[in-house]
């Protein structure tokens, strides 16, 4: 998820940038993307995947996977998919629960041990767990005081507090939304009818092979054959008189049964929208060019466009709830920080001031990169962009981002990265670093002009605008000082002939127009 401002000023843009770094740090710390893939798998198998956002014992935001079988909603309350009450039933270790609520220790010790189900093997355990019920009742409207949040065991109420948030602390991922009700329909449920027919055929084939599909020896009645010689020994000699023994394997399953089985398997792939080649990680024969691979990948992705959009919105909603809970912790404790990972290592990022978070901001979710993921398709796309003049070779090399080119990429872009780092510190922190002759002064002048034109109209502080002007003027001074002095013309000396200019360097990527 990426925070974007809508015609915002410098402060709004700076806030969006800090929020992006903060969310990335929290997602990295909580392993949000690993848990998100588990939620997507739960949605495909069970119908609904779920993540819970809560405050851990370290006063930090925590994210955990929740099975939808732990959740309980009223069928009438959730008829249109928006329940006002929700309960979570979960087995918790008794000692962990005492650590969370030490003032209720005696009541927790008196609580009976609970088991996942009523099966006999369920009670054969060395664990000591109790059933904990956590419930939420959403407020009736803005400012209403009837919202509730409770945590209870079978014989004691552990927590009873007001709840003023408009949503439950869960993020749901539905594989396919039902017409009525809260929980979604899974891919396994959609394929159930086809899978039942496949199972019937497989059972028929298995029984037929066990009964008929074994080698048999036919010996004519009255022939002189010693049956003991019919064995599995290698090179055994069988003596006979009359008719020769015949080894046969009867056809046990008609070909139509295997054809019907293959048709059902193909139909299941069509129902799920996945081709057999994609399931086996294979590409169709003849698709070798990058453009063809991209087109094939787009066709595969279009089938899951709706699911993909729900998956994107899943992380957008997760970002909202993480920031909302972090803001509550920051208002209570005074601050909230996380570690933001970037290409230069990690650094600590504080949650922006709660007052700034009250401003309007928009989250839009974009793919990490619009370029193809496979090397052949990525290279072909970048070459096309270079040939069309959309990017230069230097930028195209950065877009490739191949692991074996990482070191060359860092060296080739080190000059630009250093200039951008200096200008970013001027804009964000008001820290000034003067230019030096080791910089690409032409690029530094160009970038400082662009930074000045970009941020000055957005109410940038005058002190920082002056730093940009100073940086630009010092770059120009260094550039002029590095130029050699003009040659002095000697009276009466013959004019020097200039050499013909050398041809421009050629590249196989750029057509010479």
Average pLDDT over residues 360-366: 49
Report the C-alpha gap between 380 and 295 in whole angstroms. Answer: 13
Q: In the chain, how long is the greatest CA-to-CA distance?
A: 133
For residue 357, name the pLDDT band (cuts at 50, 70, 90).
low
- Which residues sit opposite 71 in a β-bridge? 88
pLDDT at site 210: 87
Does the pLDDT at position 296 exceed 70?
no
Q: What element of type H or E holds 200?
A: helix 192-211
How far is the CA of 341 from the CAs of 24, 54, 344, 368, in angstroms? 8, 23, 8, 16
**Given a cut of 90, is residue 62 above it in pLDDT?**
yes
Q: What percent of the chain has pLDDT over 70?
A: 78
pLDDT for res 228: 81
How far is residue 331's CA from residue 353's CA, in Å, rounded to a whole number?
A: 9
Can you tell me which residue has the tokens 């010790």? 109
User: Given this model, what pLDDT does residue 214 score?
Assistant: 79
Report the C-alpha gap between 244 and 310 in whole angstroms: 70
**What per-residue confidence (pLDDT) applies to 297?**
58
pLDDT band for 497, please (50, 70, 90 cuts): low
Identify which has the larger pLDDT, 469 or 341.
469
| Alpha-carbon torsion angle 97, 99, 102, 106, nearest 10 | 50
Q: Is the pLDDT at 378 greater than 70, yes or no?
A: no
Task: Tell me which range, 310-324, 334-348, 380-394, is most confidently predicted by mean pLDDT.
Answer: 310-324
Neighbours of 357 (CB within 10 A): 16
Pairing of strands 2-4, 362-364: antiparallel
Phi, psi of 48 (to 5 degrees): -140, 125
Concatenate the DSSP letters of all residues of 412-454 into one string. Answer: HHHHHHHHHHHHHHHHHH-------TTS-HHHHHHHHHHHHHH
Query: Average pLDDT of the chain?
Result: 82
- In degrees and rounded to multiples of 5, residue 341 shows phi and psi of -85, 135
Range ranked top by mean pLDDT from 249-253, 374-378, 416-420, 508-512: 416-420
484 in helix, strand or coil? coil
Give pLDDT, residue 150: 95
Burial class of residue 355, CB neighbours in 10 A (0-12, 13-18, 19+) = exposed
- Residues 106-145 have pLDDT tens digits of 999 998 888 877 777 777 788 889 999 999 999 998 888 8
pLDDT at res. 365? 44
**So what's the pLDDT on residue 205?**
92
Q: What's the confidence (pLDDT) of residue 504?
A: 62
Per the DSSP assignment, residues forming a β-bridge with 3 are 363
> Is the distance from CB of 391 to CB of 380 less than 8 angstroms?
no
Higher pLDDT, 419 or 19: 419
Q: Residue 459: its pLDDT value, please?
A: 82
- pLDDT reading at 200 higher than 90: yes
How far apart, in whole angstroms, are the C-alpha atoms of residue 452 and residue 466? Answer: 9
pLDDT at position 66 over 60: yes
Report how far residue 43's alpha carbon sits from residue 306's, in angstroms, rounded to the nearest whole number: 14
Q: Which whole number is the average pLDDT over 414-431?
A: 88
**Whole-number Å distance between alpha carbons of 477 and 479:** 5
pLDDT at 152 over 90: yes
Average pLDDT, integer, range 423-447: 89
Instruction: Decide if 189 contacts 44 (C-beta within 8 A).
Output: no
* DSSP code, position 221: T
For residues 413 and 159, the model is more confident at: 159
pLDDT at 11 exceeding the cut of 80: no
CB of 406 within 8 A of CB of 323? no
Identify which has the larger pLDDT, 353 or 78.
Answer: 78
Residue 163 pLDDT greater than 90, yes or no: yes
pLDDT band of residue 281 (cuts 50, 70, 90) is: low
Choose between 472 and 227: higher pLDDT. Answer: 472
Contacts of 228 (CB under 8 A, 6+ apart): none
- How far is it, in rounded angstroms, from Cα 382 to Cα 348? 35
Are the beta carbons of 427 and 464 closer than 8 angstroms? yes
Residue 459: DSSP 8-state = T
pLDDT at 403: 44
Number of neighbours of residue 24 by Cβ within 10 angstroms: 20
């Amino acid at each position: 998820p990426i925070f974007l401002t809508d015609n915002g000023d410098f402060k709004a843009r700076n806030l969006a940038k800090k929020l992006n770094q903060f969310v990335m740090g929290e997602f990295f710390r909580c392993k949000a993307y690993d848990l998100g893939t588990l939620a997507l798998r739960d949605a495909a198998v069970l119908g609904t995947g779920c993540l819970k956002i809560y405050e851990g014992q370290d006063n930090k935001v925590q994210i955990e996977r929740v099975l939808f079988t732990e959740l309980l909603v009223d069928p009438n309350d959730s008829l249109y998919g928006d329940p006002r009450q929700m309960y979570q039933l979960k087995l918790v270790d008794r000692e962990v629960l005492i650590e969370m609520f030490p003032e209720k220790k005696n009541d927790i010790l008196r609580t009976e041990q609970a088991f996942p189900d009523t099966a006999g093997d369920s009670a054969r355990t060395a664990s000591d767990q109790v059933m904990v019920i956590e419930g939420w009742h959403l407020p009736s409207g803005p400012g209403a005081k009837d919202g509730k949040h409770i945590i209870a065991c079978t014989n004691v109420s552990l927590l009873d507090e007001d709840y003023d948030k408009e949503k439950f602390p869960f993020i749901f991922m539905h594989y396919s939304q039902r017409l009525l009700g809260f929980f979604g329909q899974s891919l396994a449920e959609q394929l159930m009818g086809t899978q039942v027919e496949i199972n019937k055929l497989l059972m028929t084939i298995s029984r037929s092979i066990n009964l008929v599909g074994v080698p048999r020896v036919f010996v004519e009645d009255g022939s002189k054959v010693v049956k003991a010689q019919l064995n599995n020994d290698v090179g055994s000699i069988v003596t006979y008189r009359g008719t020769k023994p015949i080894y046969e394997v009867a056809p046990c399953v008609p070909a139509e049964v295997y054809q019907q089985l293959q048709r059902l398997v193909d139909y299941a792939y069509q129902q799920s929208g996945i081709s057999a080649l994609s399931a086996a990680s294979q590409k169709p024969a003849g698709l070798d060019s990058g453009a063809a691979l991209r087109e094939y990948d787009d066709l595969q992705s279009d089938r899951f466009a709706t699911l993909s959009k729900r998956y994107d919105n899943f992380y957008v909603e997760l970002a909202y709830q993480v920031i909302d809970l972090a803001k509550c912790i920051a208002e209570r404790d005074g601050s909230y920080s996380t570690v933001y990972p970037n290409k230069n290592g990690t650094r600590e990022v504080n949650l922006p001031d709660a007052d700034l978070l009250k401003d309007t901001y928009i989250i839009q979710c974009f793919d990490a990169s619009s370029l193809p993921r496979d090397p052949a398709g990525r290279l072909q796309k970048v070459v096309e962009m270079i040939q069309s003049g959309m990017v230069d070779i230097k930028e195209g090399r950065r877009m490739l981002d191949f692991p074996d080119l990482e070191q060359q990429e860092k060296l080739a872009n080190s000059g630009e990265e250093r200039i951008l780092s200096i200008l970013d510190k001027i804009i964000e922190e008001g820290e000034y670093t003067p230019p030096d002759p080791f910089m690409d002064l032409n690029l530094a002048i160009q970038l400082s002009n662009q930074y000045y034109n970009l941020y000055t109209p957005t109410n940038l502080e005058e002190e920082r605008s002056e730093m940009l002007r100073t940086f630009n003027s010092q770059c120009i001074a260094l550039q002029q000082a590095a130029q050699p002095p003009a040659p002095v013309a000697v009276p009466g000396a013959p004019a020097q002939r200039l050499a013909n200019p050398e041809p421009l360097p050629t590249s196989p990527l750029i057509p010479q127009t």
